[in-house]
Chains A and B, each alone.
Chain A
């Protein structure tokens, strides 16, 4: 019923379902009724409170449950005006409010009930748990945990040194929808830093070629920018398939792109040569079956030996 196996799930999830208690996820302030209440009255309560089960109590102690199935049967067989006590389920499986949520999950699996009443140590009725309570309770708690994780990660990340920018973009294979987004961002950063237009363009060309290589040829990878006052460094790192012949890949006009990629205007065999041409430093490494790493650097301040 709840697609979580309390014995074989990721440890973060297991930690969660053992740490969370039934009282953290249950619906409290349950509408309960005395045992001589008519089934018709209970049907009205279900409708008004939008619940599918009503606990029956005697002096505050839980003695039975009437579910929506019981009401349907009563309507079908014509005893809707009789008191709850005659038709209620008396064999109740209850959960205690201090039990871990893992226990509730196992109970849903084991008993096939839609809901369980929850009692406290004094055996008083304090709530009700449906499978929906479990899933939404877990989702809320996962959200909280993820937020906390993000907050801690942000704290751990060393702050960017002043004047330096680092950006990481995930690039998916064949994702033409987002292709160019990373490079556009790089160009904007350089623009905002007041970098000369010609240098902006060199960096944008290098970045776009590497980005399109990731889209057209890789199994997916990352585009990483490091920018400071001296230079813009663009790294493209992918997870394969790797380039068998680097010399060929660096030859203008050589491409392994298929007709479909070519029809979009890519695959002219100019990507890597173009990147190298606009870069002041260029490094290409590739292992077939592992991946390719390209590093292209555009100097933002002229250095000895730079191309004009």
Chain B
């Protein structure tokens, strides 16, 4: 899947202009330490943490896009940081669980083995 899929196939609202790129994975968490430790490179982060530090964390962990679930708002300084770091930020009215399984489908993860 690509970053543009978040906008066009999941209906997420882009909050900053983004550069199209392939996403190799996804991670859902609100604990930034947990994101740092476990988010895969080139991934999309699904989170409730709408603030500037999420961008710093994403940038360091190699996360390419952030989706704020549950229509969480992003402050201006977060969007400015994201623009500077080249990280896409989206808003979605979907909750984290729903976003996660839809993203999983787009990533081709589908039904887990032995489900």
Do A and B bind?
Answer: yes
Q: Number of residue pairs across A and B with beta carbons under 8 Å?
A: 72
Instruction: Annotate B21-57 by CB proximity to A: 1 below 8 A, 0 otherwise.
Output: 0000000001111111100010000010101111011
State which residues 73-94 of B face A: CB under 8 Å: 77, 85
B interface SS class = helix
Shortest beta-carbon distance, B63 to chain A, in Å?
11
Q: Does B100 contact A (CB under 8 A)?
A: no
- Residues A205 and B59 in contact, CB atoms below 8 Å apart: no
Contacts of B85 in A (CB 8 A): 184
When the two chains form their complex, are residues B56 and A180 in contact, meaning their CB atoms are under 8 A apart?
yes
Give the CA-CA distance A179 to B32 in the complex, in Å.
Answer: 13
Contact status B51-A205, CB under 8 Å: no
Stretch at the interface among A135-143, A152-160, A264-272: A264-272
Q: Does B62 contact A (CB under 8 A)?
A: yes
- A208 and B60 within 8 A (CB): yes
Contact A201 B53, beta carbon cutoff 8 Å: no
Complex Cα distance, B54 from A2, in Å, reads: 48
Most buried by A among B36, B57, B77, B85: B36
Residues of B within 8 A of A266 (CB): 32-33, 53
20 further contact pairs, Cβ within 8 A, besides A201-B61, A271-B33: A176-B52, A177-B52, A179-B56, A180-B56, A183-B60, A184-B85, A197-B41, A201-B41, A201-B62, A205-B60, A208-B36, A208-B60, A264-B32, A264-B53, A265-B33, A265-B47, A265-B49, A268-B31, A270-B37, A274-B36
Task: List residues of A whose CB falls within 8 A of some B CB.
Answer: 176-177, 179-181, 183-184, 187, 197, 201, 204-205, 207-209, 212, 264-266, 268, 270-271, 274, 277
